[in-house]
Amino acid sequence: MRPLSLSLALIVISVSTVSAGTILEGYSEVQGKDYAFEIKAPRSWVLDNDAAKAQGLNLVLYPTGNNWRESMAVIYVRVRTLGPTIQNIPDQVNDTLRNLKESGSPNVKAKHVRTLTTQDASKAEIYYYTGDQYGNLEAAAYIQAKASIHFITLSARDEEAFKQAISAFDSAVASYEDLTKPPAENSPP
């Protein structure tokens, strides 16, 4: 079985340290310096905060009945701290493309496909990545925060797995809630 590239998770060099909180009722909190957010596992997906720690991933998701290493599609969460070269989502996308090309995927492309609104009314910019050296397909949702960019990525080994997992990806992205945002004025106490 060919490896999932996990391109966005493993190639980006200046990614923040992420820690995932205890999984409770299908939710997990992701926290670090100056950020905290939570996401919920989509129906029939497992939220796992141990399976990929050796790869530097503190929070991953995969379909029930599968596991992190062998699943045809997985979702993972990363955070990148803003710095001199990365100030916004387009900078992050361009840096990801540069890193992928330098690491053996000269034909990789990224395409902005849509914007999703999350649980807390944040805007998640969705990009599809194609052309990696292993034939994987990826969708990445980037959410701009005050001092970082949060991303949730679907990585699939083939087009069929991608098509089957994209609704779960959308569900995970839509469940995103920035826990550092003050509540909206009209929200109930």
pLDDT score of 188 more than 60:
no
Give the number of other CB atoms < 10 A from CB of residue 110. 18
Band (182; pLDDT cuts 50, 70, 90):
confident
- Using alpha carbons, list the distances in angstroms from residue 12 to 6, 23, 102, 182: 10, 26, 12, 30
Give the full edge-to-edge strand order of the sheet including 109-117.
45-48, 60-63, 73-81, 148-156, 137-144, 123-130, 109-117
Domain ranges of the chain: 7-81+93-145
pLDDT the model gives residue 168 = 97
Residues 124 and 176 sit within 8 Å (Cβ to Cβ): yes
Higher pLDDT, 3 or 96: 96
Task: Give the model's confidence band at 183: pLDDT under 50 very low, under 70 low, under 90 confident, else very high.
Answer: low
pLDDT at 38: 94
Is it the case that residue 178 has pLDDT exceeding 90? yes
CA distance 189 to 172: 25
pLDDT band at 40 (very low <50, low <70, confident <90, very high): very high
Tell me what pLDDT residue 20 has: 47
Residue 153, strand partner residues: 76, 140
pTM: 0.85
pLDDT in tens, 94-116: 999 999 999 999 999 999 999 99
Note the pLDDT tens digit of each residue in 45-90. Answer: 999 988 888 888 879 999 999 999 999 999 999 999 999 999 999 9
Q: What is the pLDDT of residues 115-173, one digit of tens each?
A: 999 999 999 999 999 999 999 999 999 999 999 999 999 999 999 999 999 999 999 99
